[in-house]
Amino acid sequence: MNGAEAHLTPLTARLLVRLVAADGEAVPARQLYRDVWQPTAELPRQDLRGRNEVQKRILELRRALDLAGPGLGARIVRTAQLPTARGVESSYQLVLATEELDSAEFTQLVGGALRAAPASAVRLLAEALRLWRGRPLAEAHGEAFAAGPVRRLTQLRETARRELIAGHSALGRYDLALPVAEQTARERPDDPEAAAALTRLHARLRERHGDELLRHTLRGLRVDVVVVRGDLFDQEDANLVVGFSDTFDTSADDVVISRESVQGQLVERLFEGRHRLLDDGLRRGLKEVTPLVTESVQAKRRGRRTRYPVGTAVAVPLGARRVFALAYSRLGNDLRARSAPADLRLSLERLWPAVAVHGLFKPVAIPLIGAGLARVVELDRTQLLLLIVETFTESLRDDPAVSPELRVVIRADELERTDLPAVEAFLRDMDERSAIPPTQAS
């Protein structure tokens, strides 16, 4: 009572359980003696002896309850006189408020949850299940008088767990429903309903991830590194990074720019095929950049002739988000784009500060840059992905607010040649080595 511990002898504990099992009804002393002591033979003066034994245990129980507050014992364990065929007989009754008896409070909470909306039901059910500690009425487990209450409470617990799973699922919190379903399936290995519920939850969790292949939350920061299978231009909630050459050409004529390249798709899919709309955005951004050189017509007959430094990143507005045009290759006068690992690293290192300044703190999506026509052949796809992730995480040392999420988008045909477990291992190792200083994570 009230958090105070009371130590009862085994017989007194069984007597208490018997009164709890009576569910508020008065139990005659003769019945209590028969159920708790279970005498095997009738002895002389058995009724008197039994009544005395019961009274001694009732006194012990009341004294134990008085430790939580004077007078509690008499208030909770009531004595009544019941008329019987043998005359008036003493009986005992447990009188408790709902909050004073775990089983009663458990029953009330579950009953309330069954009538409540999902958010309230989840709260009530979680509170009810926290009251559950081992088997109900364990001191009288297997006794006939306890069988009914034990069965009722056990069934109610299964209802509570089933409804808690349903409530979490209705709220979209399949991650919170999963531990409940797993515990149920462990405890009831032969229950097909429990197994089916767990299977459904696993399927829901997989659906929730969709094309997401990896997600790692960086320690100490609210920043996620995510790898998804799909199309860069389907990432409608994110800023996009698109690789360019140093001349920032936009006309996808299959001579200077391939229509199949990310640049070519950018014009078609986000600028309605009108490359001049993209040109206007690039022109405004490049006003702040000093060109390296302008080629002559004789030296470069096709495409643009003004060259900008490798690593130039231009933020082009696109509604409420940005497209970051990143020059990471050089377009030769033979119209072949060339880049090297050092060029790619430099470009990525310069990209992330630009994202921090112009990215409106939105997720940033980037393809497996370097794997296309720029031909960074020295690095395989796993190394390219690691380079993207590494430069992004290093940038967080200088500015933890670059972006809430780095999302690397991999095409289905690239996935087979990309070792994602190696990327996950890199991120875990980075956390373990505290690569991002704690002082930057505040």
Q: What is the pLDDT of residues 42-92, one digit of tens each?
A: 666 667 777 888 888 888 888 888 887 888 888 888 888 877 666 778 888
d(CA 311, CA 327): 5
Phi and psi at residue 166, to the nearest 5°: -65, -40
Mean pLDDT is highest, among 1-15, 42-56, 298-312, for 298-312
What pLDDT does 3 receive?
54
Measuring CA to CA, which residue among 206, 224, 207 is closest to residue 215? Answer: 224
What pLDDT does 208 receive?
67
Give me the half-sphere count of Cα atoms (radius 13 Å) on the Cβ side of residue 179: 4
Which is it for strands 27-28 and 87-94: parallel, antiparallel or unpaired? Answer: antiparallel
* pLDDT for residue 209 is more than 70: no
Which is it for strands 405-410 and 364-367: parallel, antiparallel or unpaired? Answer: parallel
What pLDDT does 160 receive?
94
Region 134-144: mean pLDDT is 72
Higher pLDDT, 66 or 210: 66
Q: Are 361 and 325 in contact (CB under 8 A)?
A: no
66-70, 204-208, 226-230, 438-442: segment of lowest average pLDDT: 438-442
Q: Are 365 and 239 in contact (CB under 8 A)?
A: yes
366: which strand partners?
408
Q: What percentage of residues in the chain have a pLDDT greater than 70?
A: 91
The secondary structure of residue 100, as a DSSP letter, is G
Amino acid at 12: T
What are the boundaries of each domain within the chain? 10-94, 102-209, 214-245+307-434
d(CA 311, CA 362): 21
Region 396-419: mean pLDDT is 92
Higher pLDDT, 125 or 23: 125
Q: pLDDT digits over 261-287, tens only?
A: 888 789 888 988 787 889 899 999 999
What pLDDT does 256 receive?
66
Region 296-310: mean pLDDT is 87
The secondary structure of residue 182, as a DSSP letter, is H
Band (pLDDT 50/70/90 cuts) for residue 442 is very low
Measuring CA to CA, which residue among 118, 190, 122, 125 is closest to residue 156? Answer: 125
Band (pLDDT 50/70/90 cuts) for residue 439 is very low
**135: left (phi > 0), else alpha (psi -120 to 50), else beta?**
beta
